[in-house]
Amino acid sequence: MRLLHFADLHLDTRFRWASPQQARNRRRALRETLMHICQVADEQRVDALTCGGDLYEQERFTPDTAEFLRATFAEIAPLPVFLAPGNHDWFGPVSLYRQIQWSPNVHVFDTAELSAIGLADGLTLWGAAHCAPANTPGFLDAFHVDRGGVHLALFHGSAQGDLWMQQKGKVPHAPFRVEQIERSGLHHALLGHFHHPVEASDYTYPGNPDTLSFGETWKGAAVLVTVGGDGAISREHFAVATSIVSDVSVDLTGVTHEGQVRERVLDAVDDLSGYVRVTLRGALGPDVDVRLQDFEQLCPANLDALVVQFGSVRVALSDDYETLRKEQTVRGQFVHDVLGADLTDNQRHRVLVTGLRALNDRIDDLEVH
């Protein structure tokens, strides 16, 4: 039995960092990724397509999304499609899953307890749904298979222990412990929820198949799981992401004016494509005037979007305070008073830099070091 498994596509996600059009383009890319997954399923002649939840965003889906999903899965009929709703696409009274008249090849698990479907002689798939957006108990609690043969599970849940600790920022929806898989009589669990792919002998988290946020270092993939007659599995990964998303660090140390900052950013992204986030780092002189607003309209033609943020950018020590002290200006008087104040060297530097930037109307996100 050959199953193509994916999870956590998150159709209609918001993409808060993006402009309205950029966000719309990213959502369109997620749809293209699902079509790519279906194409792989067809080309590999799998026996079924499985989704471990968070297929879409319940709070944001549109009628257009509903029709897209109906038509996309209908196009691959009679290939069976098994959907196990997660905490973002939970199965409820107004769920998209209830609003679609699915083609006969689509099965949506709709109970909070694992229920069985026979895939082949001696092979059973157990699936369940989140029926609320939060507080779903573990599907493996008090569960045990009630028949012979090979048993697979399909659900959206968070493995506890060290595995959960590795997934930063994840809420433990439908929690379970990995050892419960074998104890319950299951041979393997096809899962969703963790966006970073994680695999072991008895479970598969495929990860999100296309990039949802900057900083993701893994390749989006669907996983072809081949199940033997004894329950042993093998896996093959198929890249399905249609997006190119990159993170770049740019060192600003040594720049003397804002134009050089722009030049360094543009040089860093010259050979890239898709969506790029640039993180600015380094030590700047106090007179370098760089602001995030400067980059809002800066997107070269080779990119779909450019996002710039401050990392560990700091204001470097100035050697020109004695020169500033002699100015017949408010700024000169300020420097004169601070240099003569009873402060430690570190305190004096921080007061000088903060004050000079304030006098130049430049209270921004830069750290004062």
- 349 has pLDDT over 70: no
23 pLDDT band, cuts 50/70/90, is very high
Average pLDDT, integer, range 275-292: 85
pLDDT value of residue 315: 64
pLDDT value of residue 316: 63
- 198 has pLDDT over 90: yes
Looking at per-residue pLDDT, the higher value among 44 and 19 belongs to 44
Q: Where are the beta strands (DSSP E) in the chain?
A: 2-6, 48-51, 81-83, 106-108, 115-120, 123-127, 150-156, 158-159, 175-176, 188-192, 198-200, 203-205, 221-227, 233-239, 245-251, 274-284, 303-315, 367-368
pLDDT value of residue 306: 95
Mean pLDDT lowest among 33-37, 259-263, 348-352: 348-352
- Amino acid, res. 52: G
Average pLDDT, integer, range 57-61: 94
- 28 has pLDDT over 90: yes
Average pLDDT, integer, range 258-274: 95
Average pLDDT, integer, range 18-47: 96
Average pLDDT, integer, range 21-39: 96
Give the residue carrying structure tokens 């980059």: 295
pTM of the model: 0.83
Mean pLDDT lowest among 24-28, 172-176, 291-295, 312-316: 312-316
pLDDT value of residue 359: 72
pLDDT value of residue 336: 87
Average pLDDT, integer, range 257-285: 93
- 283 has pLDDT over 90: no
Average pLDDT, integer, range 190-200: 96
pLDDT value of residue 270: 96
Average pLDDT, integer, range 74-90: 98
Parallel, antiparallel or unpaired: strands 203-205 and 367-368: unpaired
- 241 has pLDDT over 70: yes
286 pLDDT band, cuts 50/70/90, is low
pLDDT value of residue 361: 63
pLDDT value of residue 332: 85
Give percent of the chain above pLDDT 90: 72
Average pLDDT, integer, range 147-176: 81
Between the two ends of the chain, the Cα-to-Cα distance in Å is 61
Give percent of the chain above pLDDT 70: 91
> How high does pLDDT run on average in the chain?
90
Distances (CA, A) of 157 to 102, 239, 278, 356, 369: 25, 23, 33, 53, 44
pLDDT value of residue 368: 47
- Rounded to whole angstroms, how far apart are CA atoms 27 and 29? 5
Parallel, antiparallel or unpaired: strands 115-120 and 123-127: antiparallel
pLDDT value of residue 165: 46
pLDDT tens, 209-218? 999 999 998 9
317 pLDDT band, cuts 50/70/90, is low
